Amino acid sequence: MGLGAYFRLARAGFVLAREGALSIADNDALPPVMKAGVRFGRLFERGEVRRSGNVERLTRALHRLGPTYVKLGQTLATRPDIVGPAAAADLAVLQDSMEPFDPALVPGLLHEALGARAAELTEFSPPIAAASIAQVHHARLADGTKVAVKILRPGIRQRFAADIESQYAGARLAETFVPKLRRLRPVDVVATLDRSARIELDLRLEAASISEFTDNIKDDTGFVIPRVLWDYTSDTVLTTTWVEGIPIRDNAALDAAGVDRKALAKNLLQAFLRHTVRDGFFHADLHPGNLFADPRTGDVIAVDFGIMGRITRRERRFLAEILYGFITRNYRLIAERHFEIGYVPRSQSIDEFALALRAIGEPQHGRRVSEISMSKVLGQLFATTELFEMQTRPELILLQKSMVLVEGVARALDPELDIWTISEPIVGDWVRRSAGPLGRLEDLRDHFDTAVATLGRLPAVVSKAEAALDDYEHDKHAPGRRFNRFMILTGFWLGLVVLLTALWRLLGF
């Protein structure tokens, strides 16, 4: 990693500090180590920002810094409860109203991606939405079908690579010079985001995500997505059927069309939980620019499937039982699950961790969502993770980010949202199912698959063990060597018998 990465990182920190990025969070809610960093960074703020608190130039700064910083701004735009209403409103422009690239480039990009088929896309419009990664146009096929055409921004892959390199540099610096942050595993977190970005920058993979998602929700109601047109799709161009709706952030238009915003918020939250807990495959970029409402049916319409999250059945159970624990105020259950999945070291006390969770959860019960300060809750959570030496699970980073996004969108639709009541039908049903006979059968199937996979690897393990023994046995006629070989082989086969016996008992035979 070259010095350029560190230079870009320093430049990004300076620009963000100067434009007021460090002023939008509630500093009182932060732990001491972060408070000191924020105070130092704010020394570089422009005088106008310090006097007025206005951060209107922050949006332009994020755009100038690159696409990964734009993604951060999109997330913050959904959380006026954390960054304040003025900053959130200003950052909202990052969701789909960014400057489009030169329209003169479009015909060449289409021809390069689709060849002769590019000519079949007629009535090509100017961009109707422009985001950090790509922009969208509408067009028609020869038969009159209206379609949406998404085109990757020229040079975006190189910009993403430069951004990610500087973030790796920052993560390594954090691990080296701030030991307390090592438990958060910043390098692994950046690696997770890196993999996600690489997938997002190949539109064929986004098309495949839409296809899988379509299969998952084919029997669901209330959540609609477009269909992929594979003949007009490549790594830089994605064509789908056209979907029509009202932007979900336009409360005035939703009200004028008679859309029930409370029902819409409930539908969005429950759909997200259903996709996550039931399927383990969810839309991980549900900012308001990607969400619409059908005024005729009240359905949620989602677009832009470049960032998708996937979690295993074990992680789905963890999520469901954590949410169910908060719903039922069973803080002991929440604590036990954190220990089981490895979030909290075994050296810590389950009872004390449950007590800390109660201190966070109890004040939120019975309150309207508009009365809850998420910045204070997040600050308390961070302090708790430090106290109990909690480790970050990088595989859950996208899920955690997505939950922040979805809750922010839902609370904008319905400030009186009762998250726990809305979540219970989805989460409670899944927990009861996973704890019942069907769930136990699925657990048994997982154990069986593991056992079969282990048995399938045994011949290779035996071969490697024999080869290793032969390498060390150049003097196999020596009595000592013969005895050693006998003992090693005996130990190996004895261990194998023990392993097979354990698997046999595990499967209940």
How many of the other CB atoms lie within 10 Å of CB of 42?
Answer: 17
pLDDT surpasses 70 at 432: yes
3-state secondary structure of 151: strand
Q: 173 pLDDT band (50/70/90 cuts)?
A: confident
User: Which of these ranges, 159-168, 390-399, 439-448, has the smallest mean pLDDT?
Assistant: 439-448
How many of the other CB atoms lie within 10 Å of CB of 70?
Answer: 21
pLDDT surpasses 60 at 190: yes
Q: 380 pLDDT band (50/70/90 cuts)?
A: confident
pLDDT surpasses 90 at 31: no
Q: Of the residues 81, 96, 163, 285, which is catalytic?
A: 285
Quote the CA–CA distance of 487 and 489 in Å, as a whole number.
6
- The Cα diameter of the chain in Å comes to 93
Average of per-residue pLDDT across 150-164: 90
User: Which of these ranges, 114-118, 205-209, 234-238, 319-323, has the smallest mean pLDDT?
Assistant: 319-323
Most confident of 41-45, 198-202, 473-477: 198-202
What is the predicted pLDDT for the residue at 447? Answer: 47
What is the predicted pLDDT for the residue at 374? Answer: 61
What is the predicted pLDDT for the residue at 491? Answer: 55
What is the predicted pLDDT for the residue at 318? Answer: 85
pLDDT surpasses 50 at 431: yes
pTM: 0.73
What is the predicted pLDDT for the residue at 108? Answer: 95
What is the predicted pLDDT for the residue at 54? Answer: 66
What b/e sequence results for 241-274 when a residue is b if at least 16 CB atoms lie within 10 Å of its CB, and e otherwise?
eebebbbbbeeeebeeeebebeebbbbbbbbbbb
Q: 507 pLDDT band (50/70/90 cuts)?
A: very low
pLDDT surpasses 90 at 222: yes
Among 186, 200, 120, CA closest to 157:
200
Select the more confidently predicted residue: 75 or 375. Answer: 75
The dihedrals phi and psi of 310, each to the nearest 5 degrees, come to -140, 130
What is the predicted pLDDT for the residue at 137? Answer: 95
470 catalytically annotated: no
Mean pLDDT of the chain: 80
Scanning the structure block, which residue is given the tokens 């079908």? 145
Select the more confidently predicted residue: 233 or 72. Answer: 233
